[in-house]
A = this chain, B = another copy of it.
Amino acid sequence: MTHDAYTPHNHHHCIDAALNNARSLCAEQGARLTPIRQRVLELVWSSHKPVGAYDLLPTLAAEGFNSAPPTVYRALDFLLGLGLVHRISTLNAFIGCSQPNTDHASCFFICRDCGKAQELAASEVQALTAQVERALGVKVEQQTTELTGLCPACLEQH
C-alpha cells in the first residue's frame, strides 16, 4: 500500500485503481460491470468515508439513472459479492475495498471525527481469527471488525 486514508494523496488515483480492479476482476469472472454498477462503485470511492445506500440515490437520480432503493442495493450486492466494497455494519454504510483480491474479511478503523475509514491489513486480523479458533474450537468463516477512534490528523487537533 502506498498510502492510507489518513495520508494526503491524489484521490483520483484511488478511484482509478478501484475501477481498474473492478474491470479486471469482472473480466476474469465473466461478470458485467454495467454503467450503474460502475457509477455506484465510483460514488462509493468518491471519498474514504463510508456512504449510506440512500445517500447515493439523489446523485444517481440527477444523472438519469433509476434511483429506487432496489437499484442501488442490487449494485451494492453485486460489488459486495465480488469483494469490491464492504459493508460497515455499525454505520449501515458501504465503503470501497482496497484489497479486493485477498481475503474476504471486512476489517476497518474508522475515525469518529473526520469519518474516514481505513481497511486493516490481513496480517493484522488473522492472528485474532487463529486465536479464537484455538480457544473456542470453532471454525471462523467470516470476520467483521470495526474499530473506532481518532486518526492521526484528528488526534493532533485535540
**Which of B120, B139, B149 contacts A141 (CB under 8 A)?**
B149
* Minimal Cβ-Cβ distance residue in B for A143: B147
Pick out which of these stretches binds chain B: A14-22, A32-40, A121-129: A121-129
Q: How many copies of the shown chain assemble into the complex?
A: 2
Q: How far is the CB of A99 from chain B (nearest CB, A)?
A: 14
State in angstroms the CA–CA spacing of A6 and B125 once bound together: 23
Q: Mark A124-141, 1 if CB is under 8 A from B, else 0.
A: 110111011001111111
**Does chain B have a CB within 8 A of A4?**
yes
**Does chain B have a CB within 8 A of A62?**
no
A145 with B144: in contact, given A89-B89, A89-B90, A135-B124 (CB under 8 Å)?
yes
Q: Mark A2-34, 1 if CB is under 8 A from B, else 0.
A: 001010000000000000000000000000000
**Does chain B have a CB within 8 A of A150?**
yes
**Chain B residues, Cβ within 8 Å of A111:** 138
Establish whether residues A125 and B128, one from each chain, have CB atoms under 8 Å apart when the complex forms: yes
State in angstroms the CA–CA spacing of A131 and B125 once bound together: 9
State in angstroms the CA–CA spacing of A150 and B138 once bound together: 6
State in angstroms the CA–CA spacing of A128 and B143 once bound together: 13
Establish whether residues B144 and A132, one from each chain, have CB atoms under 8 Å apart when the complex forms: no
Q: Mark A81-110, 1 if CB is under 8 A from B, else 0.
A: 000000001100000000000000000010
A152 with B137: in contact, given A142-B147, A146-B89, A147-B143 (CB under 8 Å)?
yes
